[in-house]
Structure 1
Amino acid sequence: MDSFRIGSKSIGEGHPCFIIAEAGSNHNGNLQQAKILVDIAVEAGADAVKFQNFKADKLYPKNAGKPGYLKSEKPIHEMIKTMEMPQDWIPELAGYCARNNIIFISTPFDEESADLLDPYVEVFKIASYEMTHIPLLRHVARKGKPLIISTGTANMDEVRHTVDVVRHEGNERIILLQCTASYPAALESLNLRAIKTMRQTCGVLTGLSDHSRDPVIGPCAAVALGACCVEKHFTVSNLLPGPDHKFAVEPDELRRMVQSIRATEACMGAGDKVALEVEKELRIFARRSIFTVNRIKKGEKFTCENIAVLRCGELGYEFSPEEYEQVLNRTAEIDIAENSLLKREHVVW
């Protein structure tokens, strides 16, 4: 599929990159902070702001242990419990987003959350660790809305299977996001060429969910590789408590990311190799033509001692440099001054 719509936005080839500002759980359980995150995303120019809806009891067993990757002594179930977003926030945040002209998205991590979100979202986002949760995938795919699926930790066989599951439910509106499940992800681990590989292999739109700390390099390189969607975690401040704040970008960085993506898109052009209007002056001024380097009398032959291929400056353009050898040994029709642009009427043909 070349393109489809999410709300008022067209997504796909030939359309602006769909930029998702990932608030996630960086609201820290405070509705006002969640709204501040929406405000930051709006001010930055993002197309959508995304939250997460999960229940600790539906993610991990209570004895699942400690998350070594977060360097925390707190059990993962206990940590996740503190990050839950209250269900009654959903209509409140969706309405706040609508009033501020930004698309509301929230990732469901279970079927109940998907059902609660359904009336309020125009697209579903599937987290990397849920892409192999086939019952959830089927449940969400049947709702008929576009699916954006992150692919962190996955191999290509798993990606293919995920796409097949969604398509089997009659849903073709899929965006796969290349993602590196590391927090933060080193730039050299982003594997951005997978964006193209997944697009070619699965025949779907692709993009990037970027966990690197840099606000520009990964997103802009992804767009240059054809990403139609970029997602990036952001926060009010890296100093806030919580597992996702430290690797998220801050408000000024989010704004810079959006501006850089739009500048990258402008750089890409249409792909046709043509002389541009902005090049018109230098196409004449700095390209070469044939000039006299000595005074030449009528009837005198043109030689490599009295003519040369030089840049034109303000003197105009006549002969192409490739015509130089055709002019050599021909004779002058008239007297020609030194440093003159050689014209066709100057040559006896």
Structure 2
Amino acid sequence: MLIIAEIGTSHEGSKEKAFRLIDAAAENGADAIKFQWVYADEILHPLTGFVDLPTGRIPLYERFRQLECDKAFYKELLDYTHSKGCRFCCSPFGLKSLKELLEIEPDIVKIASPELNHYKMLEALRDYRTDQKAAGKSPVPVIISSGVSKLCDIERAFELLGTEGVSFLHCVTSYPAPEADYKLGVMASLGKIFGVEYGVSDHSLDPMLVPSLSAALGGSIIEKHFTLSKKTSGLDDPVALEPEQFALMVHAVHQTQALMKRYGREHGLEEVIKQFSENFSKAQLEAMLFDCKKELAPSETSNYGRTNRSLHFMRDMKKGEKIGQGDIAILRTEKVLTPGINPMFYDMMIGAELACDAKNGEGLQFSHVIKK
């Protein structure tokens, strides 16, 4: 079992706070500690909208700018994580952050759910792993998360990355995500179909339910957001586990593993359902365990096309202009902008002539380049 404490950007750029988070995660049962390598312009358009913080309302783009740190910062976090006996895991969000992350040689590269269709980044990671293998090295392990995705998105990611050394996490991209939205039968089914290790990235508030049910179905990776306090101002702190809760989750997961080993699959699952039936209905538990149909969860349906990547204009453009490399970008849509077409069409759009005017930040549509 690999238990990942997702610190993300909860350190808020402070090395001292990051070290305290690493200490607490290691002390409370984490096997790996995960961070996010943020450059705002790899994630969002500056006009994407606003976020409400305890300190006031600011542009979401500026909030991400505040979280940017240099390569030396992450190298220190990697070294300190190793000194605590844990593996260093990190999510890049574009070609620059991926390149710099690979330069410090992480133990694991995590592809977050919204980047599952960032095909340019996946292609660069694939090429790096291919070069490693050609040089006689073991390719860096990769974990992909599948929140706010359809089956075709997951299949496309595996087509690009392959399955060797690649693991799969079932996820629901909602903060917080209702426990009932986690159909963990999908996790086990897809893990077996693709022939990869599988597990769950859990954004629900209950510290034990989803991780325990995942372990009962053979999940070997648990990822959960981690914070020193839910009351601090990290973007994900409200849905993260505090140290005592994280330790409780780790204990529950290991208990579930022992229970499954003792009773076997059929009777073990019955025992797991019995353990949680006081707080959750048997019908809900059975649906979470045995529903194997991959579809967007109710809580994340409205996020599809907005949280994951699409093509956006980076400046105002006039009819008749040709689209150049810097004129469009692969970004999350998020708050107020209109989603664009799938990033798989990026290369096709370079050099295309506009059939109408386009606004800065607008999602690129086929109608922008198809003459009527």
TM-score norm. by structure 2 comes to 0.65
- Residue 156 of structure 1 deviates from its aligned partner by 0.8
Q: How many residues align?
A: 253
Partner of 1:97: 81
Pairing 1:53-132 to 2, within 5 Å after superposition: 53-66=37-50, 73-118=57-102, 119-132=104-117
Partner of 1:32: 16
Q: Which structure is higher in helix share?
A: 2
Pairing 1:279-290 to 2, within 5 Å after superposition: none
Structure 1: state its 5+ residue gaps: 1-16, 274-349
- CA distance in 1 between partners of 2:214 and 2:50 (Å): 33
- Residue 212 of structure 1 deviates from its aligned partner by 0.6
**2:141 is matched by which residue type in structure 1?**
P
- CA distance in 2 between partners of 1:159 and 1:30 (Å): 35
- CA distance in 2 between partners of 1:250 and 1:183 (Å): 16
Q: 1:181 aligns with which of 170, 173, 178?
A: 173
Q: Does 1:269 align with 2:261?
A: yes
Greater CA drift, 97-106 or 197-206: 197-206
CA RMSD of aligned residues (A): 2.0
Partner of 1:281: none
Partner of 2:305: none
Secondary structure, aligned partner of 2:33 = strand
Which of 1 and 2 has greater Rg? 1
Structure 2: state its 5+ residue gaps: 130-139, 266-372
% same residue? 33
Partner of 2:360: none
Partner of 1:295: none
Secondary structure, aligned partner of 1:61 = coil
CA contact (8 A) 2:166 2:196 kept: yes
Task: Report Cα offsets for 1:53-106 as digits up to 9, x if no partner.
Answer: 0200111111111359x9x84222112112223322111111111111111111
CA contact (8 A) 2:11 2:234 kept: no
Secondary structure, aligned partner of 2:71 = coil
Q: 1:162 aligns with which of 157, 163, 178?
A: 157
CA contact (8 A) 2:9 2:235 kept: no
**2:261 is matched by which residue type in structure 1?**
G
Pairing 1:235-246 to 2, within 5 Å after superposition: 235-246=227-238
- Residue 271 of structure 1 deviates from its aligned partner by 6.4
- Residue 253 of structure 1 deviates from its aligned partner by 0.5
- Residue 270 of structure 1 deviates from its aligned partner by 6.4
Pairing 1:136-147 to 2, within 5 Å after superposition: 136-144=121-129, 145-147=140-142
- CA distance in 2 between partners of 1:90 and 1:272 (Å): 42
- Residue 141 of structure 1 deviates from its aligned partner by 2.4
- Residue 272 of structure 1 deviates from its aligned partner by 6.2
- CA distance in 2 between partners of 1:73 and 1:90 (Å): 28
Q: 1:265 to 1:83 in 2, by over 3 A?
A: same
- Residue 188 of structure 1 deviates from its aligned partner by 0.9
Q: 1:271 to 1:141 in 2, by over 3 A?
A: farther
